[in-house]
Structure 1
Amino acid sequence: MCASVRWQEATQAVTLMDNWHQRWLTGVELLQDINENKHLLPTGFEGLDRLLGGGLRQGQLTEIAGPSSSGKTQVCLYSASHIADKHLGVVMFLDTCNSFSPNRIACIVNQLPASLVKDAQERRLERIMSNILCQSIFDIFALLDVLHQLELTLKHKVNIGGGKICLLIIDSISSLIGPTLGGKSSEGRFLMVSAGIVLKRLANDYNLSVLVTNHMVSGEGGLLKPALGESWKTIPHIRLVISRDQGSNFCTATILKHTLMASGHTSKIVIHN
């Protein structure tokens, strides 16, 4: 991609940031907004929903971090399937590492509670799949461009896929941002913060729930910590880390940051491959 195109897409992100001038809100207005507009979207994982206070909240950015094979993608796919099945809205899935699998969606749908005959089950799968929109993106500039187009679509109240988008998933955000970081240049950090602010703006202004995944890196003393550093960790409203129990389908989800819950709380969830 040429430098002029990259600069244009980065400029679009800055424009979105500059246009976000939230007015001051009273506590009464914030409470009313939460109660009337910012609904919860259940993921379908009972333990995870309990840990989140009911599910993925619209208007907020939730991050799930974890090492490879910990179940991050499975949480994304299951959440997309469950929300699409419950007629809660359209799910937009931005796939950055070829993680989206229609076959895995079909397996998940077969696991969802139902007492349907085969034909009805097939129609259910078709309906769910039609409410999940997937697009592959492989660099931060493509992400910024997609977010710019999404902003225009939402601003003009254009339904995508026959419904209103309620959930935006990026699996994984770190695979897009990570390659831009490092070195003496501040461009990568600028692009990372820009993307984060735009995601939060879209969530707040259009009642989206945004779910992103992040990988883990070695921190002080060799302990694992979410990637992308100090500048990123302030951006998500909610941060969870999940780890898989060795040799089993049981995972432990732990709160690192939450707007309502205390950090350190944990819950067990079962993730089927």
Structure 2
Amino acid sequence: MREGKQSDQCEPFAALTSSVAMPPLKDLEREFSEVDYNFQQFCASHGILSVEDFLVHDLNVLVAFAEQHPTSKELKQGITRILSIIDNHHQPWLNGMKLLEDALQNKHVLSTGCEGIDLLLQGGLREGQLTELVGPSSSGKTQICLEAASNVADKYMGAVMFLDTCNSFSPRRIACFLTRGVSPSSKEDKKRSLERVMSNIFIYSVFDIFALLGVLQQLECKWRSQVYTRDNQVKLLIIDSISSLITPILGGNGANGRSLMISAGLLLKKLAHEHSLSVLVTNHMVGGEGGALKPALGESWKSVPHVRILLSCDRGGNNLYYASLLKHPTVASGQAVRFMIEE
């Protein structure tokens, strides 16, 4: 599925105020006179080329340098303008009553098609929330994503966006999920069902964090420009795996990488909330101290998902898996289930 060029309403500053992706300073010059060529050159001399760079820069040091400059007044006005842009970018405070009304009236639960996961989540994936599946290789993360994609596209008649970061999407696996329990005599019905479901699943290949932010930006612009009904709305956004996009940028001191990671997480949560869709991402495990496994995205990411599920597999090779709840806004953590993924 390919997306065309963003519409005018999604150009630099509109994009800035509506998502976490932040443009180069030069793209703001036409909107704000303070961000002129002189200001851009001053910032560039300190390694600041975008609004996002301000988030990981020591502003006290920057202001000190600006005060030594012949045009210090104008430079400090530019710094103030960028800070105001960042401040306006944050979501407004919401009172508890509005959040409760939103949860009761607008957000629904989507079954994943996997009984064990649905049982653990008291029904399935909730619209408006970011759910994370974390676990080692072969723990069932991708299988659950594929089963959820097929079930939502089939049972809820809504579109599913599958952002594939490691060539994990398998049309044959989707077909297997759909044809379980279908009798041989209903081949024509099976074919029609498969065509309908497959036409509701859209796959993007995304191989780095910048491509991810770009795709999410395009999707948001498209969704904001369309009027949805419950029958044609995108209901599920899957990223398998988000950790493979983010871990390459977390090296060194990690400041810029962590900033991009949090930006991606906040944008996903914003999309989930504003467009009433469920977001499902996977996170692999890496070796920690003493050889113990830990989630690849570390402590900074831990607070981003609304829901975290730890997956593992039975080493007996009998298609038996385990899921335990690490975090959930309404269900007590620590609960666990055992389930099977059929071949």
TM-score (norm 2): 0.72
Following superposition, the deviation at residue 135 of structure 1 comes to: 0.7
Query: How far has the Cα of 1:222 moved from its partner?
Result: 2.7
What displacement does 1:108 show?
Answer: 1.3
Q: Which moved more, 1:216-225 or 1:193-202?
A: 216-225
SS where residue 261 of structure 2 aligns?
Answer: helix
Residue 258 (structure 1) aligned with residue 269 (structure 2): no
Letter of the aligned partner of 1:261 in structure 2?
Answer: V
Q: Deviations over 1:36-84 (max 9, x none)?
A: 1111000011111010121000000000011111111000000000111
Map of 2:22 onto structure 1: 11
1:208-247 matches, within 5 Å, as: 208-246=277-315, 247=317
SS at match of 1:97: coil
Report how many aligned residue pairs link the two structures: 264
TM-superposed CA distance for 1:18, in Å, is 5.1
Corresponding position of 1:22 = 92
Local SS of the residue matching 1:63: strand
Letter in 1 for 2:323: A
SS in 2 for 1:11: coil
Aligned equivalent of 1:174:
243
Counterpart residue type for residue 22 of structure 2: T
Structure 1 residues 207, 249: CA separation in 2 closer, same or farther (over 3 Å shift)?
same
The root-mean-square deviation of aligned C-alpha atoms, in Å, is: 2.4
* Structure 1 residues 257 and 126, CA gap change in structure 2 (3 angstroms): same
What secondary structure is seen at the aligned counterpart in 1 of 2:274?
helix
Task: Give the Å deviation of 1:17.
Answer: 9.2
The alignment status of 1:187 with 2:256, answered yes or no, reads yes
Relative to structure 1, the CA distance from residue 116 to residue 21 in structure 2 (aligned partners, 3 Å threshold; closer, same or farther) is farther
1:127 to 191, 196, 201: 196
Q: CA deviation at 1:185?
A: 4.6
Q: Distance in 2 between matches of 1:116 and 1:23?
A: 57
1:60 aligns with 2:129: yes
State the Cα deviation string for residues 147-178 of structure 1 (Å, max 9, x = none).
Answer: 0001101111266xx92101000000000001
TM-score by length of 1: 0.90
Alpha-carbon spacing, 1:254–1:17, altered in 2? closer, same or farther (3 Å): farther
RCO greater where, 1 or 2, for CA within 8 Å and sep 6 or more? 1
What pairs with 1:15-164 in structure 2 (closer than 5 Å)? 19-26=89-96, 28-111=97-180, 117-157=186-226, 163-164=232-233
SS class of match (2:267): helix
Deviation at 1:21, TM superposition (A): 2.2
Mapped partners of 1:240, 1:113: distance in 2? 31
Q: Do the aligned partners of residues 67 and 18 (structure 1) sit closer, same or farther apart at CA in structure 2, a change above 3 Å counting? A: farther
Aligned partner of 1:3 in structure 2 is none
Radius of gyration: which is bigger?
A: 2
Q: Distance in 1 between matches of 2:90 and 2:270?
A: 7
What are structure 1's unaligned runs of at least 5 residues? Answer: 1-7
Contact 1:20 1:201 in 2 (8 A): no
Rate the CA distance shift 1:231–1:252 in 2: closer, same or farther, 3 A: same
Contact 2:182 2:190 in 1 (8 A): no
Q: Distance in 2 between matches of 1:17 and 1:267?
A: 43
